[in-house]
Structure formats: structure tokens, C-alpha cells
Amino acid sequence: MNESKDQGFHSWLTESEAADYCRCSLWAFRKMGLHAYNSGGRKVYFRDAIDRCLHSRPWSRAQLVPSAPPADPRLSAVRLRPYKPRKKRGADV
């Protein structure tokens, strides 16, 4: 039996099910531009078409973001003056 059917996915998927199947957000799935079929007023997608679309996209490793340049020494987190708690109002002590 197909492993994706074992996970509970059928051959026709609603928009939210298809996004879950692709492991992406609903917004990202809508940007993929797949053809949706109308099924009683809701969008459904054919799972094989989703698989073909995913396999046709080029795959690349994630790009590492270079580390930030060293911060200006004037912007360091050094306390300018020592901390002194405020006096409490109405305290007789």
C-alpha cells in the first residue's frame, strides 16, 4: 500500500489538507499555483498533481545567513549608573 495513504491522505485533498501534505503554510501552498477543481463549492486538489509539482521543483540546500558584523562598542549593554530602587510612597520606614 502507498505510504502516503497510510498517513491518512486520500487522492483528493482540500486546500488545507493539501498544504499539510506539502508541509507548508496555506499561503505558501496558494502561491504554488496548482490547478484546483471545484467540488461542491470548495477547492480540491488531486494528490498526484501535487506530487508532480513537488518533484518538478529544483531542490537546494538552505543558504546559511552570514553572521552579523561586530556591533559598535558604544551600543554595548553596559549600565550607565548603578541601579537604585525607587522610594516607596507612603512607607514610614
Cell of residue 90, nine digits: 507612603
55 φψ region: left (φ > 0), alpha (ψ -120 to 50), beta (else): alpha
* Sign of the alpha-carbon torsion through 59, 49, 22, 30: positive
Q: Where are the domains of the chain?
A: 13-56
On whether the pTM is more than 0.85, the answer is no
pLDDT tens string 6-49? 455 678 999 999 999 988 999 999 998 888 888 788 889 999 99
